[in-house]
Amino acid sequence: MAFTARPSDEMIKRYTPLPRPGQTVDPEPGIGTIHVEFVNDPSIGIKHLKAFAQLLHEKNFMTGIFVTAAAPTTSAMKIVPSVLPTVIEVFREEDLLVNISRHELVPKHTLLSAEDKKRLLERYRLKETQLPRIRMDDPMAKYLGLRRGQVVKIIRKSETAGRYASYRWVI
């Protein structure tokens, strides 16, 4: 089973990087069409992920989500970073049974747009590297599809402050 989804015009506008001074061509948006595929095979190997990557490349999908019943082999997972700029995310069905973003102990995570990230860094006079970090393999980072270099805003509840926001740089 498989399906695709396209982002709205508003989302494309929000996630398109700001033009640089002297740049004549409009920058490409940071998001695009997503293709999701569910596979029930008992073992997932290189052949499956190569075919999936080929499909994404042929149809110009920006992101592919590959949901499997069994864990892919380690050699198959080595294909994932090699198909850049296309992003492939691999999830096991059992990891998706519970929506971790709705758990009471998980704070709200929001991806910042390029413009919001720039304003944040200017406001606090920081470089990206000075922000606290979140790994790409963090469960919430995987859930949100975060990529290296992006910044996520985390809003937590606090007994003393009520609510407070912290920011994490994806590594």
99's CB contacts (< 8 A; 6+ apart) are: none
Least confident range from 14-28, 68-82, 129-143, 153-167: namely 14-28
Domain 98-171 has CATH 1.20.1290.10: no
Question: Looking at domain 1-12+31-97, which CATH architecture does it have?
Answer: 3-Layer(aba) Sandwich (3.40)
Distance between CA 80 and CA 151 in Å, rounded?
22
Q: φ, ψ for residue 84 (rounded to 5)?
A: -60, 150
Is 34 within 8 Å of 64 (Cβ atoms)?
A: yes
Q: What percent of the chain has pLDDT over 90?
A: 62
Phi, psi of 74 (to 5 degrees): -65, -35
Whether 17 has a pLDDT exceeding 80, the answer reads no
Beta bridge partners of 66: 37, 90
To the question of pTM greater than 0.85 for the whole model, the response is no
So where are the chain's domains? 1-12+31-97, 98-171
Predicted local confidence at residue 1, as pLDDT: 87
Give per-residue pLDDT as tens, 51-87: 999 999 999 898 899 999 999 999 998 888 887 778 8
Spatial separation of the C-alpha atoms in residues 13 and 17, rounded to whole Å: 9
Query: 42: burial class by Cβ within 10 Å (0-12, 13-18, 19+)?
Result: exposed
